[in-house]
Amino acid sequence: MLSSSIMQETAEVHVREEAKQDSAALLQKLTTESQNDASQGFDTKSALEIARIINHEDAKVAGTVKKAIPEIAQVIDQVARSLRDGGRLIYVGAGSSGRIAALDASECPPTYSTAPGQVQYIMAGGPKALASAVEVNEDSEELGQRDIARRRPTRKDVVIGVSASGRTPYVVAAVAYARARGAYTAAVTCNNGTPLGEAANTAIIAEVGPEVVSGSTRMKAGTAQKMILNMITTGAMTRLGYVYENLMVNVHMQNSKLVERGIRILMRACNIDRETAVQTIKSAGRSVPVALVMLKAKVDKPEAVRRLAKSDGNVRLAIEDNILEL
């Protein structure tokens, strides 16, 4: 007769096996995991045919993202409010999705001069997973909860889970934890009816369908996710006034390329020559927003700085402060 401990261990094994079978069955139902009829016989194609098939499938991505624009707009406004009130945008992802999220977060400081802590990312497996595959961590709900808990999410924050399948345990658990602590949460996924979409306040779904190489969600799904994350941060920063007209006026001039970009932005915005732009940027302490307010509102540096502080960095409002006072 089997001992109770052996019987319990056997039962646990059966439970785990059933869970694996259920997980496999669910995976097969995802559109991102289906086989793509358009790329049948892909391995027999010429280089030109391969490129054409991929390009044809990629052309569908923008249309799928377009369907999610209302939800994207909701998240843009929420992120803008959060950052304005001293909160943070925190991305959570794993694998390709996590790397795309890390890229978007990392590019906000040089593009908009945001503080490093304002837009963050959490990656399953940590920073080393950006360059090396540590995909096993994405199956752990405990690690997802632990990693987001270390950031101490609050009602001021926005936490966005990024997962093509919408069922990555690490990401789902992190988003659920953040929402339970009052953070506004969003999901960016490429499948309908997913655990991640259900865990979040807002689900942004871009159903790109089967990949050219079945299950390789770094392709169409990855492209859709990058487009969406770009829209969220670009939209939020624009709503905050870090863009003037369509110019990247909050550029952080840390290298020669960015310095040159700042000069050209000022020349365009104010219709001035290069020498005037260079001299104004110097007198503005190498700040394009300060220089722009100085020129547009015809004020000195201290007044430009005061206006920008009063408007929370919103360049247009800082310029129009002069108009309102007339």
The count of other CB atoms within 10 Å of the CB of residue 258 is: 16
CA gap 252, 285 in Å, rounded: 12
Residue 33: exposure state from Cβ atoms within 10 A (0-12, 13-18, ≥19):
middle
User: Kindly report the CA angle at 44 between 41 and 49, in degrees rounded to 5?
Assistant: 90
Nearest residue to 249 (alpha-carbon basis) of 236, 238, 233: 238
- Residue 115 CB partners (closer than 8 Å, separation 6+): 109
Residue 57: exposure state from Cβ atoms within 10 A (0-12, 13-18, ≥19):
buried
170-182 residues labelled b (16+ CB within 10 A) or e (exposed) = bbbbbbbbbbeee
Q: Residues 42, 214: contact at Cβ < 8 Å?
A: no
- Would residue 135 show up in a list of annotated catalytic residues for this protein? no
* Residue linked to tokens 């299950």: 215
- Would residue 107 show up in a list of annotated catalytic residues for this protein? yes
The one catalytic residue among 17, 57, 135, 138: 138
CA gap 163, 69 in Å, rounded: 18
CA gap 276, 287 in Å, rounded: 14
The one catalytic residue among 33, 107, 135, 303: 107
Active site residues: 107, 138
